[in-house]
Amino acid sequence: MQLQDYLRIVRRQIVVILSGLLIGVSVGAVVAMLTPQRFEASTQMMVTVQLSETASPTERAQATGYATQIVQTYRDVVTSSLVLDRVIEDLGLSASPSDIAAATAVSSELNSSIVTVQVRDTNPGQAARIANGIAESFTAVVADTLESRGQETPFSIRVVTLQAAQVPTTPIAPNMPLSLAIGAVIGLGLGLAAALLRSLLDQRVRSQSDVEAAVPVPLLGRIPFDTGTEERPLAISSAPQSARAEAYRALRTNVHFLFRENRGVFVITSSGPGEGKSTTAANLALAFADAGHRVALIDADLRLPRVAEYFGIEGGVGLSDVLVGRVRLNDVIQRWGRSALFVLPAGTVPPNPAELLGSSAMEELVQAASAAFDVVIIDAPPLLLVTDAAVIARVTTGAILVAASGSTPAGRLSAAAKSIEAVGATVLGTVLTKAPSGRRDPAAQAAAAAGAPR
């Protein structure tokens, strides 16, 4: 995946990512509020070397660096049981030496003879008492341990307290800003991981690259989402200046390149219901009529016809009646207004739609319409519900597959294309409906720059 793919995932899954961030921050806040307060008290001690009056110049030179060297050893002594047992006894504590050692931090800077002891406890007074107790116990241990040595050498070790521990007034934990920051980082990471996982598991087509990966044919049109589609399906006539109407005109331009001998018969279908095939067929027919072509729009969705409703015409008699020989084509095809568009509604709902659409009568009707009109647009049922569209596509220039952005699964779209090809028909291209408004995806921009159908 390229950077633009990850950015597209972030845009699509922004709600998931922000939810993860919010949950992380909330958990961080809860953890901080439930964490008991902890206080830290510190004391500082200095290790010094006292020289005897009889010390030689060499011994005096050695003593200068001895204090800083011995500090590194004494750091471990501070938290030893030798020191802490005295603290426990003096203060009457119930804790073990290991418990106190775990709550104690001992540090000293490089080449320094100063030792800093920090003690943490939920009780601020207790923290100060333990810190001071450690300083007193450590001083006594050093004095007792090195007392005999001080009699045999020209110098002796002495520990003095530079700063006694004071009772802290401000807790060092919980640290609300730190907890919120950690929660935010973890939540954001989990949100991004969830977004990536959802994108990998989500097989619905959303962009030109998704559609072309499912069906390797050109994307002929990208129709933007419009909340008013249900109330105003015919954008070409009701809102000719809208982005949706312009998209249908762009689709018309691309479909025009598919003409054979300056004519074209096209089946408009989809893999499933609700993907916009009927509105695409109707608006494409209107766009061709507006461009001066003589157009026939045939509603071949005999199970769920919509064309008559869209155009506000009588649909009780139509295609099915022509196919059974009840009426002639010229008697029922209706001119829409003063345009060059003629509409053939579905007519009476028959008990055997597939047989009628696959009959020789249907083939003869398509041939007659092709001879009489420049463009014939056939609105056919969804492919994965019935085989009607594939049957019709055999006697036409080819089929155009409609897919809805964020709704049509890529696998279902691919299966629909294969069902058309299985009967020897051709998938000429695809149309992506309900596409998000705004910038086109990078693949569409590249195709437009190269002059390819989009």
Count of CA atoms in the C-beta half-sphere (13 A) of 387: 13
SS3 of residue 218 by DSSP:
coil
CA distance 302 to 299: 7
Query: b/e for 263-285, b at 16 or more Cβ within 10 A?
Result: ebbbbbbbbbeebbbbbbbbbbb
Tokens of 100: 């106190």
DSSP 246-287: HHHHHHHHHHHTT-BTTBEEEEEEESSTTSSHHHHHHHHHHH
Instruction: Report whether 386 contacts 306 (CB < 8 A).
Output: no
pLDDT band at 74 (very low <50, low <70, confident <90, very high): confident
- For residue 220, the SS3 value is strand
Write down the pLDDT at residue 199: 80
Contact 159, 78 (CB under 8 A): no
Is residue 443 scored above 80 in pLDDT? no
pLDDT in tens, 122-143: 999 999 999 999 999 999 988 8
Cβ(405)–Cβ(433) below 8 Å: yes
Question: Has residue 101 got a pLDDT over 70?
Answer: yes
pLDDT on residue 63: 67
pLDDT digits over 295-350, tens only?
A: 999 999 998 999 999 999 999 999 999 999 999 999 999 999 888 999 999 999 88
214: buried, middle or exposed (CB in 10 Å: 19+, 13-18, 0-12)? buried
Q: Specify the 3-state DSSP secondary structure of 90.
A: helix
By CB neighbour count within 10 A (0-12 exposed, 13-18 middle, 19+ buried), where does 56 fall?
Answer: exposed
- With bands split at pLDDT 50, 70 and 90, how would you rate the model's confidence at 384? confident
Taking alpha carbons only, the member of 445, 444, 450, 454 closest to residue 209 is: 444
3-class secondary structure, 335: strand
For 28-44, the pLDDT digits (tens) are 999 999 999 999 999 99
| Tens digits of residue pLDDT in 310-322 | 999 999 999 999 9
Dig out the tokens for 198 from the structure: 């959802």
Q: How many CB atoms lie within 10 A of CB 171?
A: 16
pLDDT beyond 70 at 153? no
pTM: 0.65
Nearest to 441 by CA among 405, 416, 411, 417: 405
- Beta pairing partners, 383: none
217, pLDDT greater than 80: yes
* pLDDT recorded at residue 410: 92
Hey, what domains does the chain have and what are their CATH numbers? 3-33+174-199 (no CATH), 39-163 (3.30.1890), 205-450 (3.40.50.300)
- Residue 336 carries which side chain, given as an amino acid letter? W
- CA angle, 241 as apex, 239 and 244 as ends, to 5°? 70
Q: What are the structure tokens assigned to 152, written together?
A: 């045999």
Q: What is the mean pLDDT of the chain?
A: 88
- DSSP 8-state symbol, 173: B
Alpha-carbon gap, residue 399 to 161, rounded angstroms: 92
Angle between helical axes of 176-201 and 14-34 (0-180°, round to 10): 150
| DSSP 8-class letter at 270 | E
C-alpha closest to that of 205 among 380, 425, 415: 415
Q: Mean pLDDT over residues 352-371, rounded?
A: 92
Residue 152: pLDDT over 60: no
